Amino acid sequence: MNKNELAFEQAKLSTRRFELVVGLISHVTVIGGIALCVWLVFEGLRPLVQGQSPEAIGALAKVVQAMELGSMAGYAWGVIASGAWWFERKGKQRAISAKSRYQRIAEADDPGRTSSGLTEIGATPREVKT
């Protein structure tokens, strides 16, 4: 690898790092916004809960009934779990893809070296039926 190729690879890595930092900041901002919204809702409900009068308890019951918290919580959990699985899988595929690139380089330098036989994104290769 000569100086120009090294500088090019360093520039690519620097750009990738910048993309990851911007993505992290974006993700943290979204999570913070969601947390702020939940906090604001609970702060709005605090006077109803602290009132402990029959009217306050009745008002809180109407809020809970209108929100249908049971079904919303189930849907929210399903969306969160599915999203977490999807992000985890994409992260693994990205890591395996990067590793496979280095594996190809290592195998090119050493013909006796073998790989796991997985595809470039970490999936099990499908056998051709004959």
- Summarize pLDDT for 93-102 with one digit per residue, the tens: 888 888 888 8
**Whether residues 61 and 76 fall in one domain:** no
**CA angle, residues 110, 114, 116, in degrees to nearest 5:** 150
CA 99 to chain centre: 20
| Model pLDDT, residue 84 | 92
**Whether residues 17 and 54 fall in one domain:** yes
**Whether residues 31 and 41 fall in one domain:** yes
Does the pLDDT of residue 130 top 60, yes or no? no
**Whether residues 39 and 63 fall in one domain:** yes
| Model pLDDT, residue 114 | 61
pTM: 0.41
The tokens of 73 are what? 């919580």
Q: When comparing pLDDT for 106 and 4, which is higher?
A: 4
Task: Look at the block and give the residue holding tokens 């070296």.
Answer: 113
Range of the domain at 97: 68-110
Does the pLDDT of residue 103 top 90, yes or no? no
Question: pLDDT-based confidence at 72, cuts 50/70/90?
Answer: confident
What total number of domains does the chain contain?
2
**Whether residues 75 and 24 fall in one domain:** no
Q: When comparing pLDDT for 81 and 123, which is higher?
A: 81
The tokens of 14 are what? 């620097």
**Whether residues 7 and 50 fall in one domain:** yes
Specify if 48 maps to a domain. yes
Does the pLDDT of residue 3 top 90, yes or no? no
Q: When comparing pLDDT for 79 and 102, which is higher?
A: 79
**Whether residues 80 and 60 fall in one domain:** no
